[in-house]
A and B are shown apart, each in its own frame.
Chain A
Amino acid sequence: MKKTLIWILVIGVMAALIFMVWYRSVSKHDDPLDSKDKVILTAEELFKLYQTNEDSANKLYLDKTISITGSIKGIELNDNRYTITFNTTDSNGAVICEMDTMENIRLKTLQPNANVNVVGFCNGFLMDVQLDRCKLAK
């Protein structure tokens, strides 16, 4: 009887630990750098595709991992979160990448007009193409 109770306790603790590990693994945000299905585009290409036909671009890129290259138009810091705006040839629109806060130290040294490669998730188009949870490509 005592042995049975001990085994029940051990199995219960192991089940709880397995559940905690599983829950944490599905709870943390996906890392865009880990994606094996990245779409590789320049900021200009992505913006033009959305500007030409938003519905078609959404079918291709909405919620997809996009690896963007381009030159920086601006970098803003709000509430401890950086946002990189990429230059496009259209002065009224851009590609905006809200950066993961884990990148803050690396982002401090970036300057406008620098060329960078950023990877993030595409949320769609609202005057600009919006990406979030972005990280600097390694």
Chain B
Amino acid sequence: MLIAFTAYNINAQQYFTKTGTIKFYSHTDLEDIKAENRKVVSVLDSKTGALEFSLLMKGFDFTNDFMETHFNESYVESSKYPKASFKGTVTDIATVDFSKDGSYKVNYKGKLTIKDVTKDITGTAVIVIKGGKVTATSALKIKPSDYNIDIPATAAGKIAQEISVDIVMDYKKK
């Protein structure tokens, strides 16, 4: 399910970025794997709390090309499932005053889609307002098995059953 972002859909109460960052980290006794995607597209509606983001799976940059190849070809099959997306809501957006500097802890819920599998997720985020800019950060745990990401037995000890995900979105008002 692709989120159709176009500039025409973005109105004055919305904040937008094309350079959001999502990092994931897998730790096992045998191996640590890190990857980063720096071109995440996201929209946050300051009035309704509607929150969406979308990213290209091939945009994850690994320090090791070997791991990147396995990730794309075997685990997430990025040629077949090129994008991941989230569509949801910041449920307590009314507690955030976008007109002045401040830091706010908020809750969100929504649907995360990876490899054409959609799951309901919930989480917390921190929204920081500073000098008219809005930054949202959140940390999640994701199980690859929930999204049909099958880890072969030969790699089972090298990839964590639960992956840590860190999200940073630096929004600008459109």
Chain A residues with CB under 8 Å of chain B are: 26-30, 58, 62-63, 78-79, 81, 83, 92, 96, 98, 121, 123-128, 130, 132
Contact = CB atoms under 8 A, between A and B. Distances in A.
Interface stretch (B51-59, B127-135, B138-146): B51-59
B65 interface: yes
B58 A127 contact: no
A30 to B, nearest CB: 7
Contact of B59 (A78, A123, A127): A123
B154 interface: no
Contacts of B79: 58, 62-63
Interface in B33-79: 38-39, 41, 54-56, 58-59, 61, 64-66, 72, 79
A123 B65 contact: no
Chain A binding site: helix, strand, loop or mixed by DSSP? strand
Q: Is the interface of B mostly helix, strand, loop or mixed?
A: mixed
B65 A98 contact: no
B56 A92 contact: no
Given A26-B65, A78-B19, A98-B39, A126 B58 contact: no
B58 A124 contact: yes
Contacts of B65: 26-30
Interface of B: 5-8, 18-19, 38-39, 41, 54-56, 58-59, 61, 64-66, 72, 79, 82-83
A104 B28 CA distance: 34
Contacts of B41: 126-127
A78 B41 CA distance: 16
Given A58-B79, A126-B5, 12 more contacts: A26-B65, A58-B82, A62-B58, A62-B82, A78-B19, A79-B38, A121-B58, A124-B59, A124-B83, A126-B41, A127-B18, A130-B39
